[in-house]
Amino acid sequence: MNLKEYIIEKSREVGIDLIRFTDCEPLNRVKDFMLERKGKGYMTEFEEENIEKRLNPKATFPDCKSIIVIGVSYNVDYDERPEFYLKGKLSKASWGQDYHRVLKEKIEKLIFEIEKKTEFSYVYFVDTGPLIDRELARKSGVGFYGKNCSVINEKYGSFIFLGYILTDLPLEKDEVEEEKCGQCELCIKACPTGAIEKPYRINPKKCVSYLTQSKEDIPYDLRTRMGIKIYGCDTCQLVCPKNKNVQKSEHNEFIPNDTKGYLDIVELFQMSNKNFKGKYGSMAGSWRGKKILKRNCLVALGNMKDERSLDFLKKVLADKEPMMRKYAAWAILNINKNIGGNIIKDALKVEVDKDVKNEMERLLKIFHI
């Protein structure tokens, strides 16, 4: 058994579903694409700004000779629903335990096993590294690009978390998989905000997944398309035929035992930061903190258009956070602009924050009140 075969065997033992290998040559195939994104202003606050670091493994790890790319499926079989009434939806990526911790633990176990066989230098990343992990996954043969830019594996579909290890080991690289979407464009048609502008091209700043994580103000026209999603968006993956009849994940860490895939909106607004961290701190969606999730919950309430939530929203108009008062005002008007108009006019009489007052007045004009 050679070293590569040994690594593959040990990866299975530590619970890694997919493992492939590639070289450390720059990812020049996507250089023009990255420059195009930068030129269009599509770069987000979550990305490494230096394109050289995004493309060249040796800019991060000069001694790099090979890259080990791993994938772990999070497509768990689960269909329970919570009983609470006002709920916001979490994407599958945030159903169970924080995948950063889960994958880091598996990668560290794999590294431990490799070190039993040979000495080597390395650096590893899960989602937070400078390199384009999806391009590494494509190049190594983990999967091929879908037209929604997700990496699709024939066995597991696209609900896979990615990680990679830059090493100084001379490991043979694997073959690239051919793209297999054919004429299908279901993901493009299903995208609620039109973020998938054309095959293999996404405007991330219109993507619901980005909107639910960004601290930037959510444009009015995109709020109404977010539905009740408060963290992430699975729409383009759920409609993908390549996710039908695939092998389900066997990783119990990703089963949403605590949330059932939703957050109780009323409870969230009543929770202290300490209680929030205690209950939800282990899920991936908690990294942005309670404040952004609360904002997203207000958008979700507005989109539910259920007048029974107006009493709750009126209380939020007195929240100490100006952002909450702004988004509560939008939600109230989006539910019922006639009833909401009177509520916001009354709120204006007691509102002291200039920015909040300006936002309320702007909303009254937008809703033609």
Q: Which residues are catalytic?
A: 127
Measured between its terminal Cα atoms, the distance across the chain in Å is 75
Residue 337 token pair = 């602009």
Dist CA 257 CA 267 (whole Å): 17
Please report which helix (H) or strand (E) contains residue 122, including its range: strand 122-125
Dist CA 253 CA 27 (whole Å): 32
Residue appearing with tokens 């070289």: 23
Task: Tell me the β-bridge partners of 124.
Answer: 165
Dist CA 97 CA 299 (whole Å): 25
Which of these, 126, 21, 17, 127, lies nearest to 74 by C-alpha position? Answer: 17
How many helices (H) and strands (E) in the chain? 17, 11
| Eight-state DSSP code of residue 10 | H
Rg (CA), the chain: 23
213 close to 288: Cβ distance less than 8 angstroms: yes
CA dihedral 140, 103, 61, 64 (to 10 degrees): -40
